[in-house]
Amino acid sequence: MPIPIPSAKYALIGGSGTWGARFPEDIELADVELVQVYRDGFETPYGQSAPFKLLRIGGQPVWRVAMHGMFMDNGGPLIAPWIAAKQVAHVLEQAGVQWA
């Protein structure tokens, strides 16, 4: 059974300049809280997505994904960027994200 995707209006999408950053774990900001880590990602019509983190920033739920279009599938082969981007977009659409 698929894991339900919690709602959020906002998302932070990483890229080549930020993918290695452990956000928010390595940054001490009073208004930023790590709520939950979804290490296995979510099921999408395009395959299993990359991992996501659900944050709370200033009291608002915010999704964080480290990379917009590339990841390794559980240590296996690299997922094609155009497929990974569709997976991320699907998850954020299902979450109701309006600003990313």
Cα distances (Å, whole numbers) of residue 64 to 1, 35, 76, 77: 23, 11, 22, 23
The answer as to whether 38 is a domain residue is yes
Residue 44 counted as domain residue: yes
Q: Take residue 27 and report the two structure tokens written for it.
A: 């940054």
Look up the domain containing 57 and give its range: 10-95
Please indicate, yes or no, if residue 20 is contained in any of the structural domains.
yes
* Chain segment 9-62, per-residue pLDDT in tens: 999 998 877 777 788 888 888 999 999 999 999 999 999 998 999 999 999 999
**Radius of gyration, alpha carbons of the chain:** 13
pTM over 0.75, yes/no: yes
* Residues recorded for the chain: 100
**How many domains does the structure of the chain reveal?**
1
Q: In whole angstroms, give the CA distance from residue 57 to residue 60.
A: 5
Q: Is residue 29 part of a domain?
A: yes
Residue 50 maps to a domain: yes
